[in-house]
Amino acid sequence: MTRAKVSIIGAGSVGMATAHWIASKELGDLVLLDVVDGMPQGKALDLLQASPVEGFDSDIKGTNSYEDTKNSDIVIITSGVPRKPGMSRDDLISINAKIVKEVTQNVVKYSPNCILIVVTNPLDAMVFVASKVSNFPKNKIIGMAGILDSTRFRTFIAKELEVSVEDVDAMVLGGHGDTMVPLPRYSTVNGIPITELLPKEKIDALVERRRKGGEEIVNFLKTGSAFYAPGASIAEMVEAIVKDKKRILPCAAYCNAEYDVGGHFVGVPVKLGRNGVEKVMELKLSDEEKESFRKSVEHVKSLVEATEKFL
Ligand code: TXD
């Protein structure tokens, strides 16, 4: 019996926050890879030296060589540039498409059977790049965005209602960006829909703050984007897969007939287990929610078209 092997490509802010959460939950042995010489090695050693205090036995190795990622069970792609104030996620397309293409080619060479979790922005387009380049079965390619969008919404709901975050669930659909579709009807406090607990204006204000949740942080930081909550969200996906938990979580997954998407990766609730995406869960949407989702999918399609020329 062996521990799962999890490789993280890009040992920057998100990559390292992810490593931190994964190690502290002892979800597997970690390999951190980056193009910067010495940086992943130094960070890996530092994190490893926290293990006696925190009590985890995960091995952590930093490297610049893909050979060290050989036979990974899960590979997380966080390499690429983050946005700066005034930029949208979509502005990153040309530079990050080339990075994700090159990284995916290297990853699949050494780990042809891994599950790929894509994180780099613009998320929905980068999942498409990884899928196209790897040619992996669609259930083995998953984008992380929905859990982050949902956990931000959950945080704001819990603060507004002054209740434990543990009791708050929230569902968010669609692409990762301004067109995402929060679903207040499916967002609950221990089973009670928030539509029964808050007036419409309050919910609209929370939805709006949620929509700009990433931007709020970028504007504070000025030199990069969020990493703690993204890292925790990725670790939740890793946990669902390595423990075969069959969690129902919002992720960017391949949808064809599902929601009438017609063959694209978009944010939907999925069942996540040992085989990656084991099922796309179809929710009953109102006409208004359907229309918002349709617009979001249209946006994802236009991003994918803009990305194709970099492949
Ligand atoms: O919800 C989501 N999906 C996201 C996505 C949430 C937060 C951040 N999101 C995106 O992740 C963000 O917009 C960026 O596109 C990526 C990474 O963000 P991060 O904040 O971690 O950026 P950093 O700190 O600049 O780290 C990126 C690292 C850096 O160390 C580079 O040297 C490395 O990526 N890099 C590479 N590694 C390997 N191979 C190549 N080619 C490469 N190019 C850059």
Let me know: does 242 contact 200? Beta carbons within 8 Å: no
Separation of CA 81 and ligand 1 centre (Å): 5
Distances in Å between the Cα of 250 and the Cα atoms of 47, 182, 219, 267 are 29, 11, 26, 6
Ligand 1 neighbourhood includes 225 CB (under 6 angstroms): yes
pLDDT of residue 60: 98
pTM: 0.97
Please indicate whether residue 176 is annotated as part of the active site: yes
Separation of CA 193 and ligand 1 centre (Å): 36
Ligand 1 neighbourhood includes 120 CB (under 6 angstroms): yes
Distances in Å between the Cα of 29 and the Cα atoms of 23, 62, 71, 103, 300 are 8, 11, 12, 20, 34
Ligand 1 neighbourhood includes 142 CB (under 6 angstroms): no
Among 167, 47, 175, residue whose Cα is nearest residue 122: 175
Q: Kindly report the CA angle at 195 between 144 and 123, in degrees rounded to 5?
A: 15
Let me know: does 32 contact 45? Beta carbons within 8 Å: no
Ligand 1 neighbourhood includes 102 CB (under 6 angstroms): yes
Q: Which residue has the CA at smallest separation from atom 6 of ligand 1?
A: 230
Strands 74-77 and 5-9, by their bridges, are parallel
pLDDT of residue 105: 98
- Reduced to 3 states, what is the DSSP secondary structure of residue 297? helix
Ligand 1 neighbourhood includes 50 CB (under 6 angstroms): no
Residues near 78 by Cβ (< 8 Å), separated by ≥ 6? Answer: 8, 9, 10, 12, 14, 15, 18, 119, 120, 234
CB neighbourhood size of 204 (10 A): 12
pLDDT of residue 83: 86
User: Where are the strands (E) in the chain, listed by range?
Assistant: 5-9, 29-33, 60-63, 74-77, 115-118, 141-143, 168-173, 181-189, 192-193, 247-255, 264-273, 276-280
Which atom of ligand 1 lies closest to the CA of 123? 3
Among 298, 273, 293, residue whose Cα is nearest residue 282: 293
Which DSSP letter does residue 179 get?
Answer: T
Residue 79 CA to residue 117 CA, distance in Å, equals 12
Q: Which residue has the CA at smallest separation from atom 26 of ligand 1?
A: 12
Which atom of ligand 1 lies closest to the CA of 92? 15
- Reduced to 3 states, what is the DSSP secondary structure of residue 193? strand
Query: Which secondary structure element, helix H or strand E, spans residue 301, and what is its range?
Result: helix 287-308
Q: pLDDT tens for the chain, 311 residues: list them.
A: 789 999 999 999 999 999 999 999 999 999 999 999 999 999 999 999 999 999 999 999 999 999 999 999 999 999 999 888 888 888 899 999 999 999 999 999 999 999 999 999 999 999 999 999 999 999 999 999 999 999 999 999 999 999 999 999 999 999 998 889 999 999 999 999 999 999 999 999 999 998 888 999 999 999 999 999 999 999 999 999 999 999 999 999 999 999 999 999 999 999 999 999 999 999 999 999 999 999 999 999 999 999 998 88
